[in-house]
Structure formats: structure tokens, C-alpha cells
Structure 1
Amino acid sequence: MVIAVTWDPAVAEPEPSSAVPGSEPFVAEAEVLGRTLPPTVRSALLRMVDSPPREGAILVRGVPVGELPPTPATPTEPTTKDHVSELVLTAVARTLGEPVGYRPEHGGDLVQNLVPTVAGADRQVSTSSRVDLAFHTETAFHPHAPRFLVLLCLRGHPDARTTLCSVHDLIDALDGDTISVLRQARFVCGVDESFLDDARTALASTERRSGSVSAASTGPLGPRGPFPVIGGTADRPTLWYDADLMRGTDPAAQAALDRLDRAVADHHRSVVLEAGDCLVVDNTAAVHGRSSYQARFDGTDRWLQRAFVVTDLDESAADRDGRIIQTLFA
């Protein structure tokens, strides 16, 4: 189970903001709101930063989301909704750290709409629906990957299970020799297609299981690394993993990664997000995915909003414009 806290219904829903979502005035307004979050919610968020739970995630239920129009057909389709959900999501993100966007992801929006699309239905992207979204660390290939991923459900689907697996569960499940290999810099990760030029293609995921590669075979479109899958200390281990894009640089490393794949499949947990559920994932300690489901494409589909959070803006200063990280991979 994921640790859950409930938004106090006695706390009034915030008024919609007149500032543009993602703008600095909007973030400043969200920061003020963050200081007045229900005490149990604020305390749980602050504990996520300093003492994250073994599960690597918490769930906040009953979050206000405002008035909703029909689910948009694409993530970037303009909507006429108020900005209550965007404000609350940004307040949660700002309480955890510094919300950021990534230029290739929806143009760098700090709050992104995640909805199923016809074009993405069968792909390993956030707009998929007909396929399981493979377990992954968010942007595992990126030098400035987020510390936290925040997902706010505006409209749910009963068959869409958000899946989670923590590094602690995996360490408990794996033998010492496998963990020792996973702690070594013997793994590479391809770049997600959404971060590459449209004219280029990402490292084909079919190569993932076609055999080992040399750690030296890294280029602009090649895998990033090598780096370890499990890092950190015994008390605070970290996990960098992508079931679709990661592979070992030698047969023994690949075999260890295969065993990790099986452990993730056997030891993950899942939650069906409903309207008003806000899931906070420690991106350094847990991987996430999603089950397949049947999208309807009729305005009633599942609709999440997503925010990325880093703990230190200075680390990405050379690659960042305001809050938008602009690292190029192709």
C-alpha cells in the first residue's frame, strides 16, 4: 500500500488565480498557498523531502481540482478550465522544492496535461492507453532529472492502475551478488523519444534485449552512461531504471538487469487514481508505470496533470532559462 493522507475538507478551495500558470507570479502565489495547506498534508510533503517512506511515494486524497471542462483531445489543446488544479499542484510542487519544466516536454510547461491520444495509444509515452507504460525513473537519462514527480488526477479511469516499485522492495527481493553488480557503472540508458528532434529517432527499445553493447558506444542519439542502477547508501539507496530504454554493457550486467526486471514485476504495488488524488513519487527511490486501459476519446477520458520538482535550481543553471531546462540530446 501507498501511505495516504486526506485533504481536510474544512480547508476552503483556493480561488482561481488570475496569473498565467507557470509564470513567476503564479509560482509565487502557489508558494503562499503552500504555506496554508492542510497541516497533515504539508507535514507529509515535508517528510517526503527529508525522510521519504520506504514506499517512495505518498498519496493525498480529496485535493480540490476546480470546475472541469471535457478532457482535451491532446495535452496541449487549449481548455477553458479555471486554474484551481494548476495552482494546487504547483503549491504541492513548491512545498517539495522547485518546480521546473523540460523544453521537449510540452514546451517546458510547469503543469502538463496527461491525456490519452489516438496517435500515442500504442507507444511508450505518457499519452498511451492500449499498452502498459513500462516501469521507469522519470527521465533516467537526463543530467537534471527531477527529484519528485507529482501527479494530480482530475478525471480517473477504473482500469488505469498507476504502478510503483521502491528501491527498498527490490533490495529486499534481490540477492547480494545481483545488487553488487547493479551498484556498478555498467548500465546505459537510451534517450526518450520525446526529448529528441522529430527528424531523429530514439534508441530503439527492441535493442534493449538484443544483446550487450560496449559502454563506449554512446553518442548524441546513443545511450547515456554508463552509470549504476542502484546507488546511494544502505540507509538511503537510490534507483535509476528504465525497463524500456536501459541495458547492461556486458552479459553479467544484462543478466543482473534481467533479474531486476523480474523483481519489479513481482514486487510492485498499484493504485487507481481517482479525481482529487495527488500522487507524489520520489523519483530517486521509486519507479512508476501504468497499466493499459480502454480510452474513449469522447471528452470523458482519464486526465492527469503533472509537475516535476528539483531540490536545487543552481545545478541546472547552465541549461536552464527561468524554470525551463533546455538540455539538448539531438
Structure 2
Amino acid sequence: MRRLTLTPEDNAELSPMIAEIAKAYDTVENPELIRRAPVLARSLPVHVLEFLEEYRIGEPSALCVISGLDVDEAQLGHTPEHWRDSQYDSPAFPQEVFFLLCGSVLGDVFGWATQQDGRIMHDVLPIKGHEHYEIGSNSLQHLSWHTEDAFHPCRGDYVALMCLKNPDAVETMVCDAADLDWPAIDVETLFAAEFTQMPDNSHLPQNATESTGDPTIDRLRARSFALIQSWNEHPVKRPVLFGDRAQPYMALDPYHMKTEGWSEASLRAFQGLCDQIEANMKDVSLRPGDCVFIDNFRAVHGRKSFRPRYDGSDRWLKRLNITRNLRGSRAWRPAADNRIIY
């Protein structure tokens, strides 16, 4: 894992720059802010830009962390009860701006019509009723390790998390592909398109509002949910590994994969990979002000269980999906400058 710790001098430089940006916009979801983010990111300290660029191009690790961003937990107030309550008048807007700018150094941020009503920046927090549900808003159940959106051909290159609160030091679990013993794994079998990856629960319609109020958006979103349903009913076969056979990229989500009909060789190879991942999983406890960027091609991640309080003090993160090839999803987006995949 690579880490860059911001100094007091860094925060003194960042604070007025971020405040000026935050004054110009009403929310981090503002399309103009998202469009301008790659340009605004050039105002970040040079060593922050160099750190992120080295991580992006050199792939020295599947995980990098920028820590030390100022977070005033008293100013944040209560952790929202639901992600729907957090979009406007966000007390974390300055931190959201910094997170957005850093993510925009690595690529283009994007969202899913089927996740958190098409928002770009997601909230990760415990929600009442989701305690045992396999979704990021659960708590009493482990969130099983996975590639983010493993089922979708337009999944992001990176999934990023920014910690606002983590009073119980709840651990994020990460396994870096570089730590695996690849000669001991049946790589050739895992490169074959013989593995069924199902959509994860966060993309199901019961986790969205019934209507956005925009008939066009509702029609496009209904089409997306119909596609998700079709993939659940008729899973598409895909490889688990891709890229270079000596240092493969990965795409797997065992909790959402149906193994019925797999060959014995496929089952053995898949289990061998999963065993290696389990043996090399590491725990990362995020602190307020930490921004972690996970290479979604080279790592899997999950989260350990915890007991929620529901008193406003619970763990609260922000999440971004980032792609290095926005054009690759053009067939899924209604316009070239639209960042939402339908």
C-alpha cells in the first residue's frame, strides 16, 4: 500500500482553494463541477498530483491512501440515516470537493442509474433494515469481498472511499493481486469465458426511489433495471481473469456467482483463486480524512461487520467510481458528456 500524508501546510494551502470551489456550487453532484473537476484538480499541490499519477501509470500497488485531510467532526453533525438525506447542504461539501478532485486525477468519475438514484458520489453508511443484507449499507453481516460491479462490462478501474467517521475503527478488507502465488493458480482456465457473474444487490430496484420525477430518466432507468433482471435470470458467462497472464487482472464476486453448470476444472480453478485471496486478505482501518483508492482490476475488497448505533455517530464514508475509459461506456450513456450509465 502506498500512502501520502498531508501536512498542516498542505491543509493550509488546500482550505481556501476548496472553499472557493465550494462557494460556486450547490452540491458535489452539480454537472458543471463534475465536468470542470479535471481542470480544477490542477490546483492541487504538485506532490499530490505526482503521487496519484505514479499510482495510475506505474501500478506500484493496488491500493493508495491520501491521509491527513482536515475533517471537523463537530461540523459534520450526525451521520445521515439514509443516503437520500445527504445530497444538498452537505456539511462535508469541502471534503467532497477534495475527494472529487483527487478522483478526477485518476480518470473520469461516473455513476449508475441503478445505484443511489444515479448519483456520482455515494454515501456508505449503515441503514436500518439492511443489517443482514449483502450491500454496502449493511452492518451486522460482513460485506463479502468482491470486485466492484464485477458483473458489468463498464465497471470502473478504481473504487475510491473517503472516511468522514469511523468511531469503531471498522476494517476494510483488501487483497492485492500482487500478493497472490500466480504459478500455483490455474490461470489458463480462469481466462476462459466460463464463469457466471450476477448483478449485486445494490443495483436492484428495491434500493432506489420509485420515481425521479423526470419521465425520460425514469424510462431509461426502467430499461436498466430490466437489463439487470435479465442478467439475473440468464447470467452471462465471462472470464474471471484478463490482461497479462503473468500478472492478471481480476473480476469476481463470489457471493453473486452461480456455480451451477461449471466444469470440474472451472470449479477447481475458481476455488484455488478464492483460497489464495482469503489467505492474503489484509485489513485497513480508515480514519477521518483518509481517501483510499483501490485498483478495481488488481484488488478485491470487502468490510468486516460492526454493530451500528443509529445515534448519528456511525461510520460514514463517501464513495466514487472512476474509469480511465469513459468512451467505453458510450453505448450505455444517453450523451457523450453524461456520466451516468443506464
What letter corresponds to residue 83 of structure 2 in structure 1? P
Aligned partner of 1:237 in structure 2 is: 248
Which blocks of at least 5 consecutive residues in structure 2 are unaligned?
Answer: 208-228
What letter corresponds to residue 198 of structure 1 in structure 2? Q
Matches of 2:281 and 2:34 in 1, distance apart?
A: 34
Matched, 1:182 2:198: no
Q: CA deviation at 1:174?
A: 5.8
- For 1:84-163, list aligned pairs within 5 A: 84-163=94-173
Paired residue secondary structure (1:27)? helix
Paired residue secondary structure (1:220)? helix
2:78 to 64, 70, 84: 70
Aligned partner of 1:323 in structure 2 is: 339
Matches of 1:24 and 1:111 in 2, distance apart?
A: 12
Paired residue secondary structure (1:162)? strand
Matches of 1:56 and 1:269 in 2, distance apart?
A: 12
Aligned-residue sequence identity (percent) comes to: 27
Q: CA deviation at 1:240?
A: 0.5
The answer to whether the 8 A contact 2:198-2:231 is kept is no
Which blocks of at least 5 consecutive residues in structure 1 are unaligned?
Answer: 200-217
Matches of 1:219 and 1:30 in 2, distance apart?
A: 35
Matches of 2:168 and 2:52 in 1, distance apart?
A: 26
Matches of 2:104 and 2:52 in 1, distance apart?
A: 10
The answer to whether the 8 A contact 1:122-1:128 is kept is yes
Deviations 1:114-164 (A, max 9, x none): 111121111110001111111100000012101111100001133411111
What letter corresponds to residue 60 of structure 1 in structure 2? I
- For 1:248-263, list aligned pairs within 5 A: 248=259, 249-263=262-276
CA-based RMSD: 2.1
Matched, 1:43 2:50: yes
Paired residue secondary structure (1:305)? strand
Paired residue secondary structure (2:192)? coil
Q: CA deviation at 1:253?
A: 0.9
Aligned partner of 2:308 in structure 1 is: 295
Aligned partner of 1:304 in structure 2 is: 317
Change in CA separation of 1:224 and 1:7 when aligned onto 2, cut-off 3 Å: farther
Matched, 1:18 2:24: yes
Q: CA deviation at 1:82?
A: 4.8
Matches of 1:228 and 1:64 in 2, distance apart?
A: 42
Paired residue secondary structure (1:90)? helix
Matched length: 304
Q: CA deviation at 1:192?
A: 1.1
Aligned partner of 2:215 in structure 1 is: none
Change in CA separation of 1:27 and 1:307 when aligned onto 2, cut-off 3 Å: same
The answer to whether the 8 A contact 2:192-2:239 is kept is yes
Of the structure 1 ranges 30-39 and 133-142, higher mean CA displacement relative to structure 2 is found in 30-39
Q: Which runs of 4+ in 1 moved over 6 A?
A: none
Paired residue secondary structure (2:4)? strand
The answer to whether the 8 A contact 2:177-2:299 is kept is yes
Q: CA deviation at 1:318?
A: 2.0
Deviations 1:10-31 (A, max 9, x none): 1332203431322232124533
The answer to whether the 8 A contact 1:17-1:87 is kept is no
The answer to whether the 8 A contact 1:17-1:83 is kept is no
Q: CA deviation at 1:106?
A: 0.6
- For 1:152-231, list aligned pairs within 5 A: 152-170=162-180, 172=181, 175-176=184-185, 178-198=186-206, 219-222=230-233, 224-231=235-242
Paired residue secondary structure (1:221)? helix
The answer to whether the 8 A contact 1:71-1:303 is kept is yes
1:314 to 302, 324, 327: 327
Aligned partner of 2:219 in structure 1 is: none
Matches of 1:174 and 1:133 in 2, distance apart?
A: 29
Q: CA deviation at 1:295?
A: 1.2
